[in-house]
Structure 1
Amino acid sequence: MDTLWQYQFRIILLGDSTVGKSSLLKRFTDGVYSDVADPTVGVDFYARSLDIEPAVKIKLQLWDTAGQERFRSITTSYYRNSVGGLLVFDLTNRKSFEHVREWHREVSEHVLPYHMVYILIGHKSDLDKDRKVSREEAERLAAELGVRYVETSAKRNSNVDRAFELLTRDIYELMKMGEIDARDGWEGVKTGLSNKVLYPVEEVVEREKSCNC
């Protein structure tokens, strides 16, 4: 049997209520969209795997957090054990954009001493006529926070996969550079769940040649 996954990343979605975090996750994990979504209570869990490069499969544990203040004490416990964060705002809701800095600051304080990689998401790009935040303004905020910026639409399935893939690749590259690694007691990154030992092609050939069976 093939490898199940080499790494597991825990990723959390952050942002005000009704910005569309649940819609993004359902589109990414199940390929579906619904105009009607029940509000998240506390935290919901999703999962999907990505093939980042040949023989490297990464399982994503995706945590959908409630944006309401009354659930904040529940969701803060998940910040520390996440390696990636999607900062999501609604392009048609100015206040949700203005709250991004607060989300970034709050989460950054809770994850220390661990490292979290962020990406800024401007969601509901299909509602262009109702847009309250320009791309230029959002890109300036992303530059200020030192993160990527992507505009998405769960309804049109625009850039949804790309957003998650970019964040996953950024985390993976930092792992290869040694800036992020799996640690005991931290759930952000886990390594290795495989059904077989993987050998380089050349070594497989040599093993077959030397086999007497």
Structure 2
Amino acid sequence: MASGKNKNQSSLVLHKVIMVGSGGVGKSALTLQFMYDEFVEDYEPTKADSYRKKVVLDGEDVQIDILDTAGQEDYAAIRDNYFRSGEGFLLVFSITEHESFTATSEFREQILRVKEEEAIPLLLVGNKSDLEDRRQVSAEEATAKASEWGVQYVETSAKTRANVDKVFFDLMREVRKKKMSESKDNGPSGKKKKKHCCVL
């Protein structure tokens, strides 16, 4: 009987999400809060962890695969492999640490370079919104950055669970939208039309 269950699991649409951001911004805390409804204050990031969960997205059963990158930021080859495998990205910074916000631009550049395309499902996430008194990045500044990139900005708190589900579900919707438009583009032959990019 178990085989039937596995078969059903594997036939579900899978959305691959990658958590990206500087160390200590709460990528793991957000992931664990989404996966298990628990807040882990002191998480020792040693290696990348992959999580898979079945969720209902707008009435449809899907699976989300979350890769929580930790400590590999220094190894360009490993990082590029992760970015290549991802379909959507949560670009996380801490609102209490301006440096982590500045770093998001570099992470985005790396993702665009590896993916070699402009329209990548991506959300800019300002975590630790419960620490308002220690805020170093204003919502206005982050919103301006997000609109410059043409993406959504959301503030979250892994501690209070504020907007945690929202960022994962909104990103899955973006990924799904991109997949649907690509399958239209591919046409009946299933071949992907080549996009020519021009260097300005």
TM-score by length of 1: 0.77
Q: Which has the higher helix share?
A: 2
Aligned equivalents of 2:118, 2:143: Cα separation in 1: 26
Aligned equivalents of 1:89, 1:136: Cα separation in 2: 15
Indicate which of 40, 48, 64 corresponds to 2:46.
40
Structure 2 gaps of 5+ residues are 192-200
CA RMSD of aligned residues (A): 2.4
Aligned equivalents of 1:115, 1:88: Cα separation in 2: 18
Bigger radius of gyration, 1 or 2? 1
2:135: which partner in 1?
131
Could you report, residue by residue, the CA deviation over 1:158-189 in whole angstroms, capped at 9, with x for unpaired residues?
Answer: 100011011111221233333689999xxxxx
2:29: which partner in 1?
23
Aligned equivalents of 1:142, 1:64: Cα separation in 2: 22
User: Cα distance, 1:30 vs. partner?
Assistant: 0.9
1:161: which partner in 2?
165
Indicate if the aligned counterparts of 1:115 and 1:180 stay in contact, CA closer than 8 A.
no
2:64: which partner in 1?
60
Aligned equivalents of 1:138, 1:109: Cα separation in 2: 22
Any residues of structure 2 matched to 1:140-155 within 5 Å, and which? 140-155=144-159
Structure 1 gaps of 5+ residues are 185-213
Indicate which of 90, 103, 107 corresponds to 2:107.
103
Instruction: Report the 3-state secondary structure (helix = DSSP H, G, I; strand = E; otherwise coil) of the residue aligned with 1:177.
Output: helix
Indicate which of 7, 30, 33 corresponds to 2:13.
7
Instruction: Report the 3-state secondary structure (helix = DSSP H, G, I; strand = E; otherwise coil) of the residue aligned with 2:32.
Output: helix
TM-score by length of 2: 0.82
2:177: which partner in 1?
173
Indicate if the aligned counterparts of 1:92 and 1:130 stay in contact, CA closer than 8 A.
yes
Could you report, residue by residue, the CA deviation over 1:69-111 in whole angstroms, capped at 9, with x for unpaired residues?
Answer: 4344322211111110000001000000011110000111011
